[in-house]
Structure 1
């Protein structure tokens, strides 16, 4: 549980750092993040465009038909004068031109008057020529003066002195909005005589923020840093209402939250108020570009058609523009449509008249940042507590709720809130980071578990379980096996002088290298029992000469303990503890036993049971009494006859009715073949024979010879024999043995 908690904490902290990064990225709001947000807003409009309403807005279109009838563009200005006069006569509430007339009409006939007077004085008097060759710009100006006409201007990036005329006044509530609006450097305006005749002049430039080619916002206000100028739609609404000016309200106005800026909040034109962005722009809620919104200029210029279309013009706010592709005024909308630029101004005007607006409130960015962080926290908590699948399911529900809420607010209140970044980005990045890290840590845990099982099982067993997990079923088989039990001698005094944590460290430092020696000889560690190890050979994989492998492992274990003591690996000597060295006892027995998976369907161990196991345990418990570090049964001794073995005589074992002959394992076959061990083995045989005969004198002589030849670590072993010799009656062999 502690490992699991640490893993979950690590996943939570790492995923939390990723979440902080994702949240900070949203707070910084770089261009690609805002672009994704705008695409989401476009999706809203495609799914729920502005409903169609019958509103007094019309477009007089210089379309392909009009160009086919009246010739290519540009037309002579007297034709535009005719168009303007016809619209005025038909009762248009206002005529707004989405066309700039920055230069004099190069097709105007009066431009040729000086040449004609000089070359052909006989044709007519100058006065007659002037009447026959009119100034079309003057005629257009006269027509503009006779009607409610609004002309346009375009802002320019290059510095210049040109500014459009102001036809309407501005009042503002709060701080001066010119302080917050982006200032244009110069303007492209109309001929002065045309602007002087116009009732209004408004900007036709679109938002500088819409850099992707899709029109989403239309500026309602322009500023040169000193004065405010209206947009074409704003001026059209003013002139249509007969109003004299506009009222602009900023964030510092009464009733508004003062956020320390001069951000524009709304504009009132005549009797119509509407909200804007802080830059004085209107979010346009588009609807389909319906054909009935348009009237061809050819129909207006055709006297025979005027009565048929009069009802479409009378009382309408009329925008004059072009849908001809060749005139290059085609714009893309969020609906995926390509529309004439004049349609954008017309739709903005329709939206203002409808009273239904889109808005992105000041608190939207903060709310989206908070939503990003909270949703990310929820995802992290779900991943670390319930897992990846449940996190994905519940996270999907939370995302759906966020989307549903954003859609509901868009449909009911026109609010533009972004659910894409908090859901898609957070779920993808944070969820992916958390689950990927969890997967990596889980795989590492599996490797750790595999390595941990490698401490208990032979490598072959681990490989077998990995390749054939179906072998993990209950049941067992009888096998001829060699079983090992190892125990720490004098463990109680050692445990009494160590703190619990130090005791655990001591056992780890001891049992780990001893386990390695067992596995090096192909043994399978069955279990650890406190300070003891139980292991076996010849299962689950067949091990030839398993008794000899077990004996080699036992000798290696005793050598390992000696080496650990020699370098004070446990720190007993350095700390001045009472117990300076560690001794172990090992018991080996060879015989048939049942080995396999034992336990329940839910939890089981690969283990061995049987009488051979019990005997091995009893042999190990006899080590201290016999004074040998390693004892083996007669069956093991026969199977490893080439090892250095010394008989310890027949020893009654607890729980056994017949005494079992035990042998001290002294060395490997090389040691058994040495001259020193051969002499010791011969004298030891005479000692056993004398003890069996009850010959005290011969036993004493043999014991002395054994002590002289035996290495120091067999001292305790022969001390036990000395006690047996001392118990023999003096005077020769026992009568019973004679």
Structure 2
């Protein structure tokens, strides 16, 4: 493989620097995004959970009738039996009735934590009986009636009833009475679960007679007030408890215990991060999160799930109520809005809190689970890393627009794949964060690329703003690589312009007037050069050095240089006619200004020359020296515009007259030069064609040293030449006379 040429190496270094900056920006933003994902702050988790919510909202679990019902303390029941709380005797009657109807288990989504204020004994203490004998007898009779809490406690005996408890964040509550034996395999769950300080529990006499005790608290990890997960297991630090859903399943199956599988158990890898993997309750296995929670897969809330307490006690509806409840797991809760047990679900619905526990049991029985395995976190981080790296690579290889299209396709594909896995396996994968991360990486890297590009443009504008036409400068800003820093060989057309007789002009002007004179002259001449895509190399006093075909390639550079020279000659004539310099008005001894322009075409070295802090984009080489010498020959030749043979060959359509072989300083052999007379239109005019035919005879006779023929041809040329060529042919006559004298003395 060929190595880079010296001219290509600076460009390669510039491109490498740009690549390094873009890569650093992209990798830094990617590292930040991955760090955020690992840290998992609340706002990141909220976005992810919102994505999971939309999975369920778009594709909810299909409702299939299961042996799970909710006995609802609804508004109709409150109208029938009075406001809540009801006397515990009514609750006891409800338990007896549900047991009679054949409920497999009866789970209360509530806590009976305070004594019933409507118990006869407590009610008797609140009455004012006065001092009458009848009043004392009434108080004694009320005190003999059974206590409502005792009635409920006795109603729970030998019935499949589970009482709920709610965990508290402080130690103001009590400790639930454990009812289930809980065994575990692997890591002890008590070392994994965060212990609750205390709990809101039912009265002790009820806990003793109840068959089960289950937690009704919801997950503290959910965001936005939406219930997505519920704990399946609770720990007091010394004792484990099942949730209300788990206990309802256990009691319904007649199971005495619960088995918990954690990391380190048979078949479970010990990753070093203790986690709960699953629970087994009788015939059912429940996959859980590492914290022992269940992702609830919701179906739309259906009236088939509910049986009103009013209907339970209605003899006329016994057949249909028995059909609905017999052999079912029954949850008792409330849908009455005034009792404030309403929860938001991922489906966007507001449902009674008891519905969450019932739906959890439904999906356990149907084994229709949402899956969020431990490895999903690592997979999402890996995908984030891969997409971020891919965005940086594609940006460098293809540019902003193609890489954006590729990133968009990948993001859409990732979302489609995540949706497909959810539809197929109910797998919860987050495609949004990796996609957003790749967008951030793309944006950061693109911004850095833009900054680098803008820096290059500023560099280009700073380096070339004074020397290039705005149109050419804009092209160069869009193609900075066209500028080879450090120098390269390239075919160029080089121009030197000088003011004829500048020394006498400077002597007759004050310094301020001299500066004004130069600005008045050089400004429009510079515009003419830039208008023809020329690059101004430098100003040297009264002189201008310019070149074409760098930094941007212009294949017709010789023609552009010639066209600029003709326009410069025209500008000087216009300035003289308008007395723009004020010489005529001031009565100066010099009334008009003349210029000389020399143009040569050939290979030269062009590039940034100087230091990193101070440089000049310039051109050096023999072609430059020749151009300067040609300009110096304008006065001896008598032409304002002279070009070399190479320039005339490169732009053949212009009007030229050969000036003959002219000796140039530094050249061992004379060089053929041409007077630039006019543009393509002049070259095609009959007058010029006639003049050129006569001029060719003059040049032929000159070369043959035929003095007589040369004089005749010179007279013919003078007769046909316009006034602008008078000086040109006068110099020809002088050179012819010198040649004739040389021939005579030889």
TM-score of the pair, normalised by structure 1: 0.69
**Which residue is 1:373 aligned to?**
385
Give the secondary-structure state (helix, strand or coil) at the position aligned to 1:33.
helix
Q: 1:519 to 1:250 in 2, by over 3 A?
A: farther
What aligned pairs does 1:229-308 form with structure 2 within 5 A after superposition?
229-308=241-320
Question: Match for 1:539 among 561, 564, 567?
Answer: 564
**CA deviation vs aligned residue, 1:536-565 (integer Å, no higher than 9, x gap):** 4763994444596854999xxxxxxxxx99
Number of aligned positions between the proteins: 582
Q: 1:464 to 1:337 in 2, by over 3 A?
A: closer
**Which residue is 1:435 aligned to?**
446
Q: 1:169 to 1:586 in 2, by over 3 A?
A: same
| 2:186 and 2:264 in contact (8 A); partners too | yes
Q: 1:615 to 1:324 in 2, by over 3 A?
A: farther
**Which residue is 1:404 aligned to?**
416
Question: Match for 1:89 among 95, 100, 103?
Answer: 100
Question: Match for 1:72 among 83, 102, 111?
Answer: 83
| 1:45 and 1:285 in contact (8 A); partners too | yes
**Which residue is 1:587 aligned to?**
630
Question: Match for 2:666 among 594, 604, 624?
Answer: 624
Q: 1:587 to 1:98 in 2, by over 3 A?
A: same
> In 2, Cα distance between the equivalents of 1:60 and 1:363?
39
TM-score of the pair, normalised by structure 2: 0.68
| 1:593 and 1:612 in contact (8 A); partners too | no
1:398 deviates by 1.9
1:28 deviates by 2.2
Q: 1:464 to 1:227 in 2, by over 3 A?
A: closer
| 1:50 and 1:286 in contact (8 A); partners too | yes
Q: What is the alpha-carbon root mean square deviation over aligned residues?
A: 4.5
1:27 deviates by 2.2
**Which residue is 1:217 aligned to?**
229
**CA deviation vs aligned residue, 1:244-293 (integer Å, no higher than 9, x gap):** 11111101101111012331111011121111111111111111011111
**Which residue is 1:102 aligned to?**
113
> In 2, Cα distance between the equivalents of 1:519 and 1:537?
23
Q: 1:522 to 1:585 in 2, by over 3 A?
A: closer
| 2:656 and 2:674 in contact (8 A); partners too | no
Give the secondary-structure state (helix, strand or coil) at the position aligned to 2:258.
strand
> In 2, Cα distance between the equivalents of 1:612 and 1:484?
19
1:109 deviates by 2.3
> In 1, Cα distance between the equivalents of 2:124 and 2:77?
29
**CA deviation vs aligned residue, 1:393-412 (integer Å, no higher than 9, x gap):** 32222223322222222222
**CA deviation vs aligned residue, 1:491-539 (integer Å, no higher than 9, x gap):** xxxxxxxxxxxxxxxxxxxxx9981228997776324799xx9784763
| 1:113 and 1:133 in contact (8 A); partners too | no
> In 2, Cα distance between the equivalents of 1:541 and 1:360?
80
**Which residue is 1:12 aligned to?**
23
Runs of 5+ consecutive residues of structure 1 not aligned to the other structure: 467-482, 488-511, 555-563, 571-581, 599-606, 637-651, 661-684, 696-723
Is 1:21 the equivalent of 2:32? yes
Q: Which moved more, 1:439-448 or 1:25-34?
A: 439-448
Q: 1:540 to 1:288 in 2, by over 3 A?
A: farther
Q: 1:171 to 1:693 in 2, by over 3 A?
A: closer
**Which residue is 1:112 aligned to?**
123
Runs of 5+ consecutive residues of structure 2 not aligned to the other structure: 1-7, 477-492, 498-533, 574-592, 600-608, 616-624, 679-694, 704-730
1:53 deviates by 1.5
Question: Match for 1:144 among 156, 169, 191?
Answer: 156
Give the secondary-structure state (helix, strand or coil) at the position aligned to 1:516.
strand
Question: Match for 1:43 among 48, 51, 54?
Answer: 54
**Which residue is 1:516 aligned to?**
538
| 1:521 and 1:549 in contact (8 A); partners too | no
Give the secondary-structure state (helix, strand or coil) at the position aligned to 2:221.
coil
1:159 deviates by 2.2
| 2:232 and 2:245 in contact (8 A); partners too | yes
| 1:180 and 1:261 in contact (8 A); partners too | no
